[in-house]
Amino acid sequence: MKPIHIGLLGIGIVGGGTYTVLKRNQEEIARRAGRGIVVKMIADKDLDKARSLADSGVTVTADAHEITRNPDIDIVVELIGGQTIAKDLILESIANGKHVVTANKALLANHGTEIFAAARAKGVIVAFEAAVAGGIPIIKALREGLTANRITWIAGIINGTANFILSEMREKGLSFEQVLAQAQKLGYAEADPTYDIEGIDAAHKITLMSAIAFGIPVQFNKVYTEGITKLTGEDIRYAEELGYRIKLLGITKRVAKGIELRVHPTLIPMRRLIANVEGVMNAVVVNGDAVGTTLYYGAGAGAEPTASSVIADLVDVSRMQTADPMHRVPTLSFQPDSLSDTPVIPMEEVETSYYLRMQVIDKPGVMAEITRIVADNNISISAMIQKEASNESDNVGIIMLTHLTVEKNINAAIARIESLSVVTSEVIRIRIEELNN
């Protein structure tokens, strides 16, 4: 059978890894796909680098359009990144009847609806396993392996940089700034780490998983996003004392009012497996009504782990490309005409538990005043701890854990507490997720 011809856009870390793994495992991959999968063209601005990697018979060009317009190319693999040139090249590939494999989560989170619609109209496939959690096959698990289930919730550590920072802060007692500098030196964080530390990268990924899990359109503009830059070693230590670990989680849940879609630091009980995922590793927990709770763990980035997902998509497309479009696995798991208009609820309507920490003047009546405010806002306290005053100050730390409550009630309580003259700091708020049902 005629081999599948691949055009590779970008020969950076993931592109190079994809080419290397395809070459190394070509016999095994061909046996699984039922035909050979061969890179015929590579486009990259760094021609010398591309030529040093490419074998004879592979055309190297600096003009990506030579690939997207070449009638001999069956699948275009977009590994350039960004949301401008990459979008144009993907849409042009689709318009020319080519299937697309991409690892571009930012592009799909922001423009996935347009791209998927174009692919449907043209009868081609857009595959993106590598866009979420690197080498973990979570998209396939959600779209195929768990298709019998009504998914209840997903919670994931889906940014390795943020997880590395939190792990090092906890294990070594270092500050956020110290660990960020270390992560940049090791190559885990970019020179501009904003997407990682502010939760934006995780928000792109949870947007895609939410769409697949619940059959809703891709809606990145509705994700609540909060990063890790304000976390301190103090809160990490206190969480540990209380039996919790702090992780940056992407969370999406099906609730009575709609779909929750959020990214923020979260206290997780230490007994949960996901709480013990350290360093740059990723993990995703999925809860379904039939299967219960399942955990997916592995490398969330890196040349060959991500290449593993890219090539899995290439094999899938090779197997499915001759199938009638209506009988292929739908891009977002549900058939396009069956997507739901279930709303994404605003963060103020989300219900969860909370860790609150504040500094107060150590004098009679303070605790009573704070607990009265909490009660006035229909918040139930599950635990309250007062830390000893330091020798230099008459301030004491108060830590409060709440039962389930609505975010808007917590917001109102925090505003009133911070207005008290006896409260000498802002109230630190971190959400708690038990992840037990």
Distance CA 404, CA 379 (A): 8
Contact (CB, 8 A) for 264 and 231? no
Distance CA 234, CA 158 (A): 24
Look up residue 392 and give its amino acid. Answer: E
The helix/strand/coil state of 137 is: coil
Phi-psi region of 39 (alpha: psi -120 to 50; beta: other; left: phi over 0): beta
10: annotated binding-site residue? yes
77: annotated binding-site residue? no
15: annotated binding-site residue? yes
Of the residues 40, 87, 98, 205, only one is catalytic, namely: 205
To the query of whether residue 205 is one of the catalytic residues in this protein, the response is: yes
- The owner of tokens 């989680």 is 249
Beta strands in 234-373 (DSSP E): 244-255, 258-269, 281-288, 292-299, 351-361
Q: How far is CA 250 from the centre of its chain?
A: 6
11: annotated binding-site residue? yes
Q: Which residues contact 14 (CB under 8 A, 6 or more apart)?
A: 79, 103, 130, 303, 306, 307, 310
82: annotated binding-site residue? no
Contact (CB, 8 A) for 433 and 360? no
144: annotated binding-site residue? no
Residue 210 Cα distances to 36, 71, 206, 328, 411, angstroms: 34, 35, 6, 20, 26
Distance CA 136, CA 309 (A): 7
34: annotated binding-site residue? no
Residue 402 Cα distances to 351, 388, 419, angstroms: 11, 21, 20
Annotated binding site: 9-16, 105, 190
Annotated binding site for NADP(+): 9-16
Annotated binding site for L-homoserine: 190
What amino acid positions are annotated as catalytic residues?
205
Annotated binding site for NADPH: 105
